[in-house]
Structure 1
Amino acid sequence: MTMAETPIRMPKLSMTMEEGEFADWLVAPGDTVTKGTPLAVVLTDKVEMEIESEVTGTVTRLTAAEGDVVPVGGPLGYVDATDEDGLGDLDDLLS
């Protein structure tokens, strides 16, 4: 099983968005998440949006705090992802 620390990034929620305000975490370090798990809430143009996990793994670090303004693409925290490419044990079979 391949493990890789994957950043949780501030998403671009509109064509003109350059930064967003971090509102709240929905997970804590040590939590196990799967792809699609809600991780955090960010604010843009006074709209609250949930960020979902793009990977399955364990939350390792939360670097953003309530009220932080983070540029689009900037890290909010990190997940130690398993099978980042989604191929699972197929990689082992092909080796």
Structure 2
Amino acid sequence: MPEVPIRMPKMSMTMEEGEFLSWQISVGDTITKGQAVAVVATDKVEMEVESEVEGTVTRLTATEGDTVPVGGELGYVESAEDDGLGDLSDLLG
């Protein structure tokens, strides 16, 4: 099964990056689509990041205080599902 990235969401039209605050999951956890997996912030709001796929968490690459660009990888999930970006995933990272 492929690894699918958990990405920094775009929370506003002007957002270019966000601060990673915390994980709500651990490596080895089985997660479901729509499950809250992390908390991130901009200068305006804190927000939970939801998983786009179901699967098993394989890597958590972001750590507390990291500044991550919109679309940047926070961690990875091994999943039989596509991340919904298709070939665009290659362009983002």
Instruction: Name the TM tier (shorter chain).
Output: 0.7 to 0.9
Q: What does residue 92 of structure 1 align with? A: none
2:46 aligned with 1:23, yes or no? no
The separation in 2 between residues aligned to 1:51 and 1:30, in whole angstroms, is 18
Q: What does residue 49 of structure 1 align with? A: 47
TM-score normalised per structure 2: 0.85
- Percentage of identical aligned residues: 71
The separation in 1 between residues aligned to 2:18 and 2:2, in whole angstroms, is 26
> In structure 2, which of residues 34, 37, 42 is the aligned counterpart of residue 36 of structure 1?
34
The separation in 2 between residues aligned to 1:62 and 1:83, in whole angstroms, is 19
Based on CA coordinates, which of the two structures has the bigger radius of gyration?
A: 1
5+ unaligned residues in a row in structure 1: which ranges? 86-95
TM-score normalised per structure 1: 0.83
The amino acid across from 1:12 in the alignment is K
**Runs of 4+ residues deviating >4 angstroms:** none
CA RMSD of aligned residues (A): 1.2
